Amino acid sequence: MPETSLLQIVSGFKPNVDGMGDFARLIGEALWQKKSIQSHFVVYRRPNKSFDPQEILPNTISYLDESTPAELSEHLVELCAQRKFDNALVHYGAYAYSREGKPAEFGKVIEELAKKMPVSIFFHEVQATAMPWKRAFWTFPEQRKTAMGLVRCAKVSFTSNSEYVKTLERFKVPGAVITKAPVISNVGEPTDPRPLKERARQLVIFGQFSNRIRIYEKHRQLLEDVCKLLRIQTVVDVGSGQSPSIPSTVAGAEVKRGGWMDEQQVSVLMSDSIAGLVCYAPDIWEKSGVIAAYQAHALVPILVPLQKRLTPEPAYLPYVSCEALSRLATADGVVPEEQLQTIATDAHRCYVANQSVNACVEAISDVLTRS
């Protein structure tokens, strides 16, 4: 019999592409293997393709008939009447359970659940802000109020980065616990990554469609500079390759539209590449599963800042900027191999020590098993 039975609530699940669902599934697998904590996943949005639940045994799964807070409430009542759960872990983002960014009704369901069992919340996102002509400006008050209610009803609130911790700290009541837990690589963790000199001169561009396209449309020169500095021969864009903004070549390197890939395919690709590029906000880099994936595969992670850094830069970051790479270049305009290997090795070591599945499981299980 499992030592602990855990109810995990997630927005989506494989085979659909869902970052929170993939995170929950991988953490659930590791919680069972390492801590004998068995998970049951309640999936808010049913995948549009079939999935064999035997793949996740002994963990189990159920789906809502309709993706609504009312249906979730009814489903939880029926499920908890059939099974006993020691804890619940809710994977939360303001848009995960409401495409309009209006999570108030979902939040009320979770607050009711917290009256029946200990509930922990993993805040993958907290709240969105925007200019007045954007929807997020008008939904911000509801998102903030919902997040505040979730923090106050939770046994513990997890989040991946220091900036979100500061935000959640402002919401909490005496006795509330807020702690960091890392975001992992959702596409595997090779145990013995090959050195860069044994890989193709290949650059991976991975992540959300909008952020990838931003690289081609607004940071084309930077992309060209990176390709020259690293002597890149092939660029592989992973994800939907339908945009006309994706070029056929960059600085003499062929650009391949990789299309959708499963976890194993992405892992194989990264294991034979030397660098990965991502467009992201530097203040919250710790919540990027893309950077985590680059680190886990011992690539050179390169960050294109989505905005200027607003907080002091720490002494060490497991990624580099294009400007930093330029400063490492020799007179011939390329970065020496030993310098690239050092960056990749240090990023991988940082991941193994602080951001891996094992590190995340230790952080989460410690709270779940604490009375």
3-state DSSP assignment of residue 18:
coil
Same domain assignment for residues 102 and 140: yes
Q: State how far the alpha carbon of 271 is from the alpha carbons of 95, 190, 203, 284, in Å.
A: 32, 8, 11, 25
Give the integer Cα–Cα distance in Å for 356 and 362. Answer: 10
Same domain assignment for residues 241 and 302: yes
By the 8 A CB rule, do 320 and 342 touch?
no
3-state secondary structure 50-85: CCCHHHHCCCEEEECCCCCHHHHHHHHHHHHHHCCC
H/E element, 350: helix 337-354
Q: What is the pLDDT of residues 195-254, one digit of tens each?
A: 999 999 999 999 999 999 999 999 999 999 999 999 999 999 999 878 889 999 999 999
Give the pLDDT confidence score for residue 1 in this predicted structure: 43
Q: Is residue 189 part of a domain?
A: no
Same domain assignment for residues 174 and 223: no
CATH of residue 107's domain is: 3.40.50.2000
Same domain assignment for residues 361 and 350: no
Q: Is residue 162 part of a domain?
A: yes
Q: Looking at beta carbons, which pairs linking 79-83 to residues 24 or more positions away fall under 8 Å?
A: 79/7, 79/40, 79/42, 80/116, 80/117, 83/5, 83/40
Q: What is the pLDDT of residues 292-312, one digit of tens each?
A: 999 999 999 999 999 899 899
Same domain assignment for residues 333 and 361: no
Give the pLDDT confidence score for residue 75 in this predicted structure: 98
> Does residue 28 have a pLDDT over 60?
yes
Same domain assignment for residues 156 and 24: yes
Q: Is 254 left (phi over 0), alpha (psi -120 to 50) or beta?
A: beta
3-state DSSP assignment of residue 11:
coil
Give the integer Cα–Cα distance in Å for 351 and 285. Answer: 13
Same domain assignment for residues 336 and 361: no
Phi and psi dihedrals of 310, rounded to 5? -105, -10
Same domain assignment for residues 127 and 13: yes
Same domain assignment for residues 36 and 123: yes
Q: What is the pLDDT of residues 31-74, one digit of tens each?
A: 999 999 999 999 999 998 888 999 999 999 999 999 999 999 99
Q: Is residue 171 part of a domain?
A: yes
Q: Is residue 110 part of a domain?
A: yes
Its domain, for residue 242, covers 196-354
Same domain assignment for residues 245 and 109: no
Torsion of the alpha carbons at 332, 335, 339 and 340, rounded to the nearest 10? -150
> Does residue 329 have a pLDDT over 60?
yes
Share of the chain above pLDDT 70, in %: 97
Same domain assignment for residues 305 and 339: yes
CATH of residue 274's domain is: 3.40.50
pTM value surpassing 0.85: yes
CB neighbour list of residue 317: distance below 8 Å, 6 or more residues apart: 285
Q: Is residue 191 part of a domain?
A: no
Q: Could you give the angle at which helices 337-354 and 289-296 cross, rounded to 10 degrees?
A: 110
Q: Is residue 302 part of a domain?
A: yes
Q: Is residue 190 part of a domain?
A: no
Q: State how far the alpha carbon of 155 is from the alpha carbons of 73, 366, 369, 371, in Å.
A: 20, 12, 12, 10
Tally the domains of the chain.
2
H/E element, 106: helix 104-113
Q: What is the pLDDT of residues 108-155, one digit of tens each?
A: 999 999 999 999 999 999 987 654 446 566 788 999 999 999 999 999
Q: Is residue 268 part of a domain?
A: yes
Give the pLDDT confidence score for residue 133 in this predicted structure: 43
By the 8 A CB rule, do 16 and 49 touch?
yes
Same domain assignment for residues 179 and 231: no
